[in-house]
Amino acid sequence: MYDDNHLAHRLARAGRAAAVFATRPGLPDMTYGELFQGAERIAAALRAAGLAPGDRVAVQVEKSLEAVQLYLGTVIAGGVFLPLNPAYTVREVAYFLSDATPRVVVCDPAREAEIAPLSDGASVFTLAADGTGNLSSAAAAQAPGIAAVPRGAGDLAAILYTSGTTGRSKGAMLSHGNLASNSETLRDVWRFTDRDVLIHALPIFHTHGLFVATNVALLAGAAVHFLPKFDADAIIAALPASTALMGVPTFYTRLLDHPGLTREAAAHMRLFVSGSAPLLVDTHAQWEARTGHRILERYGMTETNMNTSNPYEGERRPGTVGFPLPGVELRIMDGEREVAQGEIGVIEVRGPNVFQGYWQMPEKTAEELRPDGWFITGDQGYLDADGYVTIVGRAKDMVISGGFNVYPKEVETLIDAVPGVRESAVIGAPHPDLGEAVVAVVVRDDDSVTAARITEALSEELARFKQPRYIAFLPELPRNTMGKVQKKALREDYGAVFG
Ligand code: MLC
Ligand code: AMP
């Protein structure tokens, strides 16, 4: 029924047995059979709404199993899944819709009145966190068993937007082959099987929760504790009946604060994976002391899926992100020159995981993706004598807060537009919970401009997680002789504001 290149085929093949897929409090478990039947009904409903192969389906909904079915249904119908963080404001969503020109838009019923006018002729459906909405009724009117639209390995399965260091957000185009190859590799190197029970507490609008956690579990035919969001109590309660957890470092620091995290509670677990942001060596050590488990840290990006991983067997070296995954080439560059082992440079990767380019941005694509397939990640790192990769910083101006990326330029532009503000510089400062949190340093012409006024001005414009947690005022910004703002100096000056 599915073409062999097809991501949906790969995902469905393992899971057709009646393995329990998920739990939601108060709801019965859903089997893989039910999951895929629902996905097929959605695929039929999307097609009935006019979705043709290659058309985008933009989705801003809360996490739910129906949202997973929508993802699967989109790829079965040959569409391109475009998930959006529910935290995005209407202004942010408007840009994504105008750039991606989706054929179908799916949003929360509470947002329909705001989103529908932006849809520019697309069909608009609703889907609520509890699975209700007119998408579900449209799907219920369809029969399952739709034949998946054949797709080649290079055909697009998803577009995920990542912000740019300058200007507009870029849509990373990911193909069926990109996603299927990476999740198969991860399933194998992390030894996922149908005996696994994965605790899934990540959001499903980003690579980590959607392509790493969901795809790997589906490919392995694993059972999943599907939690609506991170909840330390729920995770601790799930540990004794689970085998694996994937999370950002904030998951691990928050769980360490929970008295229920003990060696006994984690005795049934076989794997804890961390990624999306640097895991502190100290967190790794504390976790091992408390649970007896060594967290496995890996490194990836929206554009590339996963690039490296510490070994399943063998030494998981804290502070490093391990070795390039099978099939992934990695090199450390200084411009056009590959540096010697041990030297710091920019990490480049090449392999079947690397994306197809940025949606309708050939110049941006050419800046970061070399003609011979090497992708310039913008992360700085080095290789040690044993081949472990260590990330030491970023060549790109970016803050990672609780695993979400924030691009200072976007925040600065909006702060600068506040009346009475002359200019601003946005940086990340170490934060005990979020790893880094956003700090804005502002120069004002009008002393009556307060932090509260700036926060208020941003609240309509910018998702909450991008908004500064700390705002300072300076008479002027530190600049070098070229006139460039010295963010390094600001990072030092404001490095301790979160304690
Ligand atoms: C929530 N808030 C955040 C935030 N998450 N602020 C800054 N940074 C974040 N990451 C805001 C909320 O809007 C709220 O604002 C306030 O913080 C308190 O929220 P909370 O209840 O503490 O947050 P919570 O819902 O628990 O979320 C925190 C979190 C979550 C860390 C669990 O952000 C999360 O799940 N992060 C995972 C991100 C992720 O999946 N990244 C993968 C990207 S893929 P207020 O004002 O209302 O109080 C990628 C590639 C790769 O990077 O390698 O994987
Ligand atoms: P995103 O654009 O959201 O996909 O974020 C990708 C970025 O997250 C990478 O370019 C890295 O800067 C960062 N990242 C992901 N995993 C790790 C990790 N294990 N350690 C440090 N940084 C990481």
Q: How far is CA 291 from the centre of its chain?
A: 27
187 in ligand 1 pocket by Cβ < 6 Å?
no
The DSSP code for 421 is E
Q: Calculate what percentage of the chain has a pLDDT beyond 90.
A: 86
For the segment 264-314, what is each residue's pLDDT rounded down to a tens digit?
Answer: 999 999 999 999 999 999 999 999 999 999 999 999 999 999 999 999 999
The predicted structure's pLDDT at residue 17: 39
Distance between Cα 402 and ligand 1 center (Å): 5
Give residue 2's pLDDT band: very low, low, confident or very high (50, 70, 90).
Answer: very low
Q: For a ligand 1 pocket test, name from 199, 200, 204, 230 the mutation site with the most ligand atoms within 8 angstroms of its C-beta.
A: 230
Q: Cα-flanking dihedrals φ and ψ of residue 140, to 5°?
A: -65, -25
Give the DSSP H or E segment for 321.
Answer: none
Q: Are 142 and 41 in contact (CB under 8 A)?
A: yes
In this structure, which residue's CA is closest to atom 21 in ligand 1? 230
Gap between the Cα atoms of 356 and 434, Å rounded: 31
403 in ligand 1 pocket by Cβ < 6 Å?
yes
| pLDDT beyond 90 at 327 | yes
The DSSP result for 360-406, as a single string, is: T-HHHHHHHB-TTS-EEEEEEEEE-TTS-EEEEEESS--EEETTEEE
Gap between the Cα atoms of 295 and 190, Å rounded: 12
202 in ligand 1 pocket by Cβ < 6 Å?
yes
Distance between Cα 447 and ligand 2 center (Å): 38
Distance between Cα 202 and ligand 1 center (Å): 9
The predicted structure's pLDDT at residue 428: 97
Q: Among candidates 365, 392, 361, 386, which has minimal Cα distance to 376?
A: 365
Gap between the Cα atoms of 482 and 113, Å rounded: 48
For the segment 90-122, what is each residue's pLDDT rounded down to a tens digit?
Answer: 999 999 999 999 999 999 999 999 999 999 999
Distance between Cα 246 and ligand 2 center (Å): 15
Residues with C-beta less than 6 Å from any ligand 2 atom: 162, 207, 275-278, 297, 299-302, 321, 377, 379, 391, 394, 400, 405
The predicted structure's pLDDT at residue 29: 73
Q: Are 246 and 212 in contact (CB under 8 A)?
A: yes
For the segment 397-432, what is each residue's pLDDT rounded down to a tens digit?
Answer: 999 999 999 999 999 999 999 999 999 999 999 999
Q: Are 7 and 1 in contact (CB under 8 A)?
A: no
Q: Cα-flanking dihedrals φ and ψ of residue 464, to 5°?
A: -55, -40
Q: Are 458 and 395 in contact (CB under 8 A)?
A: no
- Burial per residue of 215-235, b for 16 or more beta-carbon CB atoms within 10 angstroms, e otherwise: bbbbbbbbbbbbbeebebeeb
Q: Calculate what percentage of the chain has a pLDDT beyond 70.
A: 94
Q: How far is CA 384 from the centre of its chain?
A: 28
Q: Are 309 and 296 in contact (CB under 8 A)?
A: yes
Q: Among candidates 311, 279, 496, 488, which has minimal Cα distance to 391?
A: 279
Helix, strand, or coil here: 429?
Answer: strand
Give residue 16's pLDDT band: very low, low, confident or very high (50, 70, 90).
Answer: very low
Measured torsion, CA atoms of residues 272, 278, 283, 284, in degrees rounded to the nearest 10: 50
Gap between the Cα atoms of 284 and 278, Å rounded: 11
Q: Which residues pair with 424 in a beta bridge?
A: 442
Q: Are 168 and 21 in contact (CB under 8 A)?
A: no
Atom of ligand 2 nearest to the CA of 207: 4
| pLDDT beyond 70 at 84 | yes
The two structure tokens encoding residue 420: 């009475």
Gap between the Cα atoms of 257 and 313, Å rounded: 28
401 in ligand 1 pocket by Cβ < 6 Å?
yes
Tally Cβ neighbours within 10 Å of residue 291.
21
Mean of pLDDT over the chain? 93
For the segment 241-272, what is each residue's pLDDT rounded down to a tens digit?
Answer: 899 999 999 999 999 999 999 999 999 999 99
353 in ligand 1 pocket by Cβ < 6 Å?
no
5 or 469, which is more confident: 469
For the segment 130-165, what is each residue's pLDDT rounded down to a tens digit?
Answer: 999 999 999 999 999 988 898 889 999 999 999 876
Q: What is the mean pLDDT of residues 340-352?
A: 98
The DSSP code for 116 is G
Q: Among candidates 334, 341, 314, 310, which has minimal Cα distance to 324?
A: 310
Give the DSSP H or E segment for 18.
Answer: none
Q: Are 82 and 119 in contact (CB under 8 A)?
A: no
For the segment 161-200, what is each residue's pLDDT rounded down to a tens digit?
Answer: 998 766 689 999 999 999 999 999 999 999 999 899 999 9
The predicted structure's pLDDT at residue 223: 87
The predicted structure's pLDDT at residue 8: 62
Q: Are 83 and 71 in contact (CB under 8 A)?
A: yes
Q: Are 246 and 226 in contact (CB under 8 A)?
A: no
Q: What is the mean pLDDT of residues 430-445?
A: 98
Gap between the Cα atoms of 359 and 159, Å rounded: 8
Helix, strand, or coil here: 260?
Answer: coil
| pLDDT beyond 50 at 24 | no
Helix, strand, or coil here: 329?
Answer: strand
Tally Cβ neighbours within 10 Å of residue 153.
17
